[in-house]
Amino acid sequence: MTKSLKILELFAGVGGFRVGLEHADSDFFKTYWSNQFEPARKSQDAFQVYDYHYPETDNINTDITKIKDETFEKMDADLIVGGFPCQDYSVARSKKNEMGIQGKKGVLFWEIIRATRIIKPKYLILENVDRLLKAPSKQRGRDFSVMLASFNQLGYSVEWRVINAAEYGRRQRRRRVYFFVYRNDLPLAEQIDKNFENNSSLEEENRYDEYIFKKGLFARQFPIQQTPYKGRTAYYIFPEDIVETSNNFVGKVFNTGVMRHGRYFTIDTKPTGDEKPIPLKDTLQDENKVDDSFYVNDPEKIAKFAYLRGPKKLERTSSDGHKYNYAEGGMSPYEDLSLPSRTMLTSEGSVNRSTHWLKINDRYRLITPIEAERLQDFPDDWTKYKIVDGEVKEVTDRMRMFFMGNALVTTIIERIGKEITKIENSF
């Protein structure tokens, strides 16, 4: 029985992966190294929050591209985790500006591949926006397929699932794709191959059904309906050259799948619907504890939110002078407290259409940093303090909101961690 897994956390943010894994089993999951660096900011607030909570870790505040191979060689990590930068895939940017794996931050995926090639961990858990499966818009699925092909060349297999946290009992309708990557020489991989052999009478593209629906990590922790949604399935065999995959990919990628031995099988799936989400009303703080600064009394600001959330048809002019009509549907004038939260973005707290806008006791207000933390299943006030040059300082409310807009739902990672613990202890 393995006593613990040693972890390297890349693109660590304020420690979402670590929070989730330690909630799963703090004795089993031991983080020894982390890397967090924001090149566009002079102040490294996220790193400083992480360092405040975990001063005992080897926390590296350096551009990951500048971490030397020799540094990775000294890390004997069993597990690499990370929510690698998603700006190039995010729905918050227009398709005109999306650059996919060729984008400025999209290329940082190759640093995960570099670390994997050098360290050779047993497992990886990765997270990204679900739009990744359809990027770029002119060759849908290519970027994700290049990632799968890259892990295949290093001797790894990949299982993936798009998970909406609210569909599995959480507070936020946040859809993200999660990767579970495992090395092909592990007992787990051998066990999976035996399962495929047992299904050898089936057509090649259907041999993965039982694993995806019942036996896979995601199937066990995040149950799904036992038939493909609208019958959507796809099968793809990678060419030997990744460049050929990049240039000529014409396959399909659905929200669930597994890649083994240079081929993948993917299915469009739906959750069973057995887990009920937590409504927003059960996430909010007691109104007596909410500072007055979060209430909005300015009539102009209230009117601005009404306009932003309402339907609109506008004439716009493109960069080349072409005029076109832009239409945007309306949304509810304020949040429905009986429903789980909408997806939180990094713009949370600003005067923005995506900002959570509450009406409570006939008063309008924004959500608080603690409420934002709860939406991502972090402990209350997780982001309140940072360590700067040995001194403890408070983090601004705006930055705390930014952190949570960038973060992940930690309980999803907790459930993945619990399943990895079972896998490790079964061999």
Q: Is the peptide bond before 136 cis (omega within 30 degrees of 0)?
A: yes
* b/e sequence 119-146, b meaning 16+ C-beta within 10 Å: bebbbbbbbbbbbbbbbbeebbbbbbbb
- Asked whether the CA dihedral 193, 195, 201, 205 is positive or negative, the reply is negative
d(C-alpha 141, C-alpha 259), whole Å: 14
Alpha helices in 258-368 (DSSP H): 299-309
| Phi, psi at 162, each rounded to 5° | -85, 125
Residue 344 near residue 166, CB atoms below 8 Å: no
Two tokens at 118? 């050098």
177/70 Cα distance (integer angstroms): 31
Contact 134, 141 (CB under 8 A): yes
Cis peptide before 223 (omega within 30 of 0): no
Q: Give the tokens for residue 38.
A: 């924001």
Q: What SS3 state is found at 48?
A: helix
Secondary structure (DSSP) of 318-371: -TTS-EEEEEE----SS--TTSPBPPP-TTTTSSSTTS-EEEETTEEEEPPHHH
Work out the number of other CB atoms within 10 angstroms of the CB of residue 13.
23
Report the distance separating Cα 420 and Cα 5, nearest Å.
10
The single residue of 10, 86, 367, 412 carrying the catalytic annotation is 86
3-state secondary structure of 120: coil
Altogether, the residues listed in the chain come to a count of: 427
In whole angstroms, what is the distance from residue 133 CA to residue 179 CA?
A: 12
The 3-state DSSP class for residue 16 equals helix
369 assigned to active site: no
Element (H, E) at 364: strand 363-366
Residues that are catalytic: 86
